[in-house]
């Protein structure tokens, strides 16, 4: 699940820093000799092997995991132990080491070196929000990674792009080093051009290799899903579990069915999904085994994965398939077992069309425009400057009588930097909209037009039940529950030191507290609410990440003012 990626990134970031420093030192001393490339490739392979060797121990160090011996695990969770025994006996592997993270954020992951020294971890949220069949399905999925030796396979798959990256960096620095020597010989020039070509091709191969590695990772997730379905002989168990984990559509067990239904009607009434006069039927349909939502809410949540253009964008760069894609594949597998799929996504397209029309291309292009507006304006400034300078040779005649001169350039550049500054402000205003309204998790999850750029301002009330990355000591984000579902809360401030102290001081204090959170709901690979204000435990905590987005505008205005000053004098 999601923690695999978090674990991978935590460890990889550390090794990336070591790699960059050592690479620079080695190049400085070894120079551009061909054998230096072999040494650097060897160093890259060594780093990968070291990372592979010690990553499991680092993960155990940075996550708060309770390890449970087999007999105790069987006594606590006999249904899970039965699944564990079945996999071990069928595949003749050593018993994995089992762990629990005491956090209500529902998640699971596995790590290790080989299938015979695997560690499998479930969070308390898996045990609390999923029924026993779904818990078994999640465990079987993780065990699928174990028996498929995905630890080794994915290490090799991701190692190939790293080797290509090493070749690209070496060729780039070698060409730069040779240019710096100032040799005018034809042979030196030819070698320099060859090195540049090698660097360009290697960078391209690295990029393509990285995308292929991500494709392989997504395929391995599908294989693990298939293993879960085959082991339990029912793909529906994992499908319904995915609805709860990925979309947070679980009902609060302490809330009556009547109250849950009121929240669902609020969440679906505005979507045109069904006639509110038929809400009397919702009591029968909406709370199924384990407290899941009506199919209408599930299909509305899944519609984003299936039809929002941002979903297709994120899928390319994701290690995991989008949840709705996995559910569709599990539904196809139901045919092999002669059973009816429980999660029917056939009406997702209709729901999407009712909310967003036939095509969402317009919204997507608008999002991209505002997301990259300052960059677009800066590029236009560069082109404008080039065309203006071409007036030197009479190729282009610009209006306003602005001939080529230093003074005129100061004026033009000053104006452009102010325009770029206003571009930053326009982007912030688009991404951080006003008009906060009280909403429920189900209200937010059923908004197909939400995106990482197009936010929904909302105020939610409920309880903080865990960390954003469960068990991770330095998680600065939190996990939230109201009577309609679960939601990831993104506190990230954007300044590392601030995030660090928030994670170690405030997050542990907030867990278990009733909270009122104001922020902007966004959809990416996972749905989340970006914090503006958290009110909990009689205190208010403000997040100024929105305000930091104005820094670009301030810098541009300062540069523009300086340019105007020199133009004026």
Catalytic residues: 142
- The span from the CA of 477 to the CA of 357, in Å, is 34
- The span from the CA of 496 to the CA of 502, in Å, is 10
- The span from the CA of 486 to the CA of 466, in Å, is 11
- The span from the CA of 219 to the CA of 321, in Å, is 8
CA angle 547, 551, 552 (to 5 degrees): 130
Q: Tokens at residue 61, please?
A: 């160090």
The candidate with the shortest Cα–Cα distance to 265, out of 282, 253, 248, is 282
Kindly report the number of other CB atoms within 10 A of residue 405's CB atom.
9
- The span from the CA of 141 to the CA of 150, in Å, is 12
DSSP type of residue 104: S
Kindly report the number of other CB atoms within 10 A of residue 519's CB atom.
26
Q: What is the distance, to the nearest Å, from the Cα of residue 212 to the centroid of all Cα atoms in its chain?
A: 18
- The span from the CA of 125 to the CA of 103, in Å, is 6
Q: Would strands 478-482 and 485-490 be described as parallel, antiparallel, or unpaired?
A: antiparallel
Contacts with 535 (C-beta within 8 Å, 6 or more apart), sequence order: 515, 516, 517, 541
Dihedral sign for Cα 210, 212, 213, 218, please. positive
Per-residue buried b or exposed e for 338-359, using 16+ beta carbons within 10 Å of the residue's own CB: eeebbbebebbeebbbebbeee
The answer to whether 202 and 168 are in contact (CB under 8 A) is yes
The answer to whether 127 and 77 are in contact (CB under 8 A) is yes
Q: Residue 471 to residues 6, 126, 135, 476: CA-CA distances in angstroms?
A: 11, 13, 19, 12
Phi, psi of 523 (to 5 degrees): -115, 125
């Amino acid at each position: 699940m999601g923690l695999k990626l978090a674990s991978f990134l935590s460890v990889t970031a550390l090794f990336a820093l070591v790699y960059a420093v050592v690479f620079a030192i080695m190049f400085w001393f070894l120079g551009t000799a061909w054998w230096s490339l072999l040494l650097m490739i060897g160093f890259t392979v060594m780093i990968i092997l070291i990372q592979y060797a010690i990553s499991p121990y680092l993960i155990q160090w940075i996550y708060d995991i309770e390890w449970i011996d087999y007999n105790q695990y069987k006594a606590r969770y006999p249904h899970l132990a039965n699944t564990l025994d079945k996999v071990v006996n069928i595949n003749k592997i050593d018993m994995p080491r089992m762990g629990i993270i005491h956090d209500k954020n529902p998640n699971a992951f596995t790590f290790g070196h080989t299938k015979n020294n695997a560690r499998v971890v479930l969070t308390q949220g898996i045990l609390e929000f999923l029924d026993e069949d779904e818990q078994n399905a999640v465990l079987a999925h993780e065990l699928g990674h174990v028996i498929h030796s995905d630890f080794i396979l994915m290490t090799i798959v991701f190692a190939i792009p790293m080797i290509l990256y090493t070749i690209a960096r070496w060729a780039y620095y070698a060409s730069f080093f040779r240019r710096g020597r100032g040799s005018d010989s034809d042979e030196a020039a030819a070698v320099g051009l060859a090195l540049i070509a090698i660097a360009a091709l290697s960078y391209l191969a690295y990029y393509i290799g990285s995308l292929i590695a991500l494709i392989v990772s997504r395929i391995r997730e599908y294989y693990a899903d298939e293993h879960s379905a085959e082991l339990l002989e029912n793909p529906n168990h994992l499908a319904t579990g995915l609805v709860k984990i990925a979309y947070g559509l679980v009902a609060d067990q302490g809330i009556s069915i009547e109250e849950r239904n009121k929240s669902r009607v609020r969440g679906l009434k505005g979507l045109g999904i069904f006639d509110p006069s038929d809400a009397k039927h919702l009591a029968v349909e909406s709370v199924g085994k384990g407290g899941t939502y009506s199919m209408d809410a599930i299909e509305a949540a899944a519609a984003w994965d299936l039809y929002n253009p941002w979903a297709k964008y994120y899928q390319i760069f994701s290690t995991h398939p989008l949840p709705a894609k996995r559910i569709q594949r599990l539904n196809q597998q139901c045919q092999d077992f002669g059973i009816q799929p429980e999660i029917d996504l056939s009406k997702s397209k209709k729901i999407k069309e009712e909310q967003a029309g036939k095509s969402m291309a317009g919204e997507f292009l608008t999002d991209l425009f505002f997301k990259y507006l300052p960059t677009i304006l800066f590029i236009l400034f560069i082109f404008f400057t080039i065309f203006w300078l071409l007036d030197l040779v009479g190729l282009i005649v610009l209006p306003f009588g602005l001939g080529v001169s230093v003074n005129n350039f100061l004026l033009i550049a000053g104006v452009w930097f102010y325009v770029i500054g206003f571009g930053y402000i326009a982007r912030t205003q688009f991404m951080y909209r006003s008009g906060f309204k009280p909403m429920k998790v189900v209200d937010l999850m059923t908004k197909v037009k939400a995106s990482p750029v197009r936010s929904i301002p909302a105020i939610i009330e409920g309880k903080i039940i865990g960390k954003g990355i469960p068990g991770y000591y330095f998680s600065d984000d939190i996990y939230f529950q109201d009577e309609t579902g679960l939601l990831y809360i993104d506190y990230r401030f954007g300044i590392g030191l601030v995030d660090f102290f928030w994670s170690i001081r405030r997050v542990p204090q907030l867990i278990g507290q009733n909270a009122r959170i104001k922020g902007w709901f966004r959809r990416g690979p996972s749905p989340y609410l970006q914090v503006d204000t958290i009110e909990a435990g009689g205190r208010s905590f403000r997040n100024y990440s929105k305000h930091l987005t104005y820094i670009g505008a301030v810098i541009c205005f300062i540069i523009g003012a300086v340019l105007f000053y020199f133009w004026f004098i």
